[in-house]
Amino acid sequence: MSVFIGVDAGGTKTAVLVADGERIIAHAAGAGGAVRAGRALQAASRITATVRRALTDAGLLHGDVLVVGAAGVGREPERGELRGALRAERLADRIVVTGDLDIALEAAFGPEPGIVVVSGTGSVAVARASDGVVHRRGGYGWQMGDEGSGYAIGRTALIAIGRARDGRSPPTMLTELVLSAGPVKSLDELVRWSTSVEPGEVASLAPLVFQAAERGDEIATQIIARAAHDLAELVASLIGCYGKSGTIPVVLAGGNLTPGRALRAPLIEELKKLTRLGVQDRAIDPAEGALALARRTT
| pLDDT at residue number 139 | 84
| pLDDT at residue number 37 | 72
How many other CB atoms sit within 10 Å of the CB of residue 135? 15
| pLDDT at residue number 200 | 86
Are 102 and 74 in contact by the 8 Å Cβ rule? The answer is no
Averaged over successive runs of 10 residues, the pLDDT of the chain (298 residues) comes to: 93 92 94 82 94 96 95 84 94 94 93 94 92 91 90 97 94 95 91 91 95 96 98 96 91 92 96 93 92 90
Q: Tell whether domain 3-105+286-296 is in CATH 3.40.50.12500.
A: no
Task: Tell me the domain boundaries of the chain.
Answer: 3-105+286-296
- For the chain, the DSSP string reads --EEEEEEE-SSEEEEEEEETTEEEEEEEEE-----TT-HHHHHHHHHHHHHHHHHHTT-S-EEEEEEEETT--SHHHHHHHHHHHHHTT-EEEEEEEEHHHHHHHHHHTTS-EEEEEESSSEEEEEE-TTS-EEEEE--HHHH--TTSHHHHHHHHHHHHHHHHHTSS---HHHHHHHHHSS-SSHHHHHHHHTT--HHHHHTTHHHHHHHHHTT-HHHHHHHHHHHHHHHHHHHTTGGGGTTSS-EEEEEESGGGSTT-TTHHHHHHHHHTSTTEEEE-----HHHHHHHHHHH--
- The angle at the Cα of 253, spanning 247 to 254, to the nearest 5 degrees, equals 160
CA-closest candidate to residue 286, choices 265, 255, 263, 262 = 255
